[in-house]
Amino acid sequence: MVGVSTIAENILDNPVFVGLSKTEAEELASHCDILVLPSGRTVFEQGSKSESIFVLFRGSLSVSVRDMAGEDHLVGQISQGDVFGEMGVLEGQRRSASTFTAEDSVILRIPGTSFTMMVKQGHPAIHRLLQWAIRKSCQRLRDLDTRL
């Protein structure tokens, strides 16, 4: 098991959490855990309950969506530093896509209950995480607009 101080060090090294104090990073770390996954491992599946938000510390992930005919389609990549899995937690909906590791990866997992509690407390880490997620969502929409 990875300790709080090790998780806090990883949090402080991540661009999502730039500017957090060591104490703030340790507070966030006390609610989280680290997933160390080999290439090809599923992080979550489309349709599963949305119980956590994730931040990719190292590695890369692929995102796929299964259509109504049961065919899987690769629809995106998640890069180091990205927040993912936030949509389902924020909306209270099931996962809209599946994610799996494209290479060996290290992922921060923030349980949805802890996320909600820290939102109510106004924790600076959650403020930064939401800013990052909104910025990335806007970027994805602009990219989609450009393709259309």
Q: What pTM was computed for the model? A: 0.88
At residue 119, what are phi and psi to the nearest 5 degrees?
-60, -50
β-pair type (61-66, 72-78): antiparallel
Matching residue, tokens 């005919």: 69
Of residues 125, 53, 124, 130, the one with CA closest to residue 88: 53
How much is the pLDDT for 78? Answer: 93
- Over residues 141-145, the mean pLDDT reads 81
How much is the pLDDT for 2? Answer: 60
102: pLDDT confidence band, cut at 50, 70 and 90?
very high
The predicted-structure confidence for 57-66, as pLDDT tens digits, reads as follows 999 999 999 9
39: pLDDT confidence band, cut at 50, 70 and 90?
very high
At residue 112, what are phi and psi to the nearest 5 degrees?
-60, -35
Of residues 65, 55, 136, 67, the one with CA closest to residue 99: 65
The predicted-structure confidence for 8-19, as pLDDT tens digits, reads as follows 988 998 888 989
DSSP annotation of 14:
S
- Over residues 16-28, the mean pLDDT reads 92
How much is the pLDDT for 26? Answer: 93
- Over residues 25-34, the mean pLDDT reads 93
Cα–Cα distance measured from residue 57 to residue 11, given in angstroms and rounded to the nearest whole number: 8
**Which two structure tokens, joined as six digits, stand for 107?**
């992922």
How much is the pLDDT for 17? Answer: 92
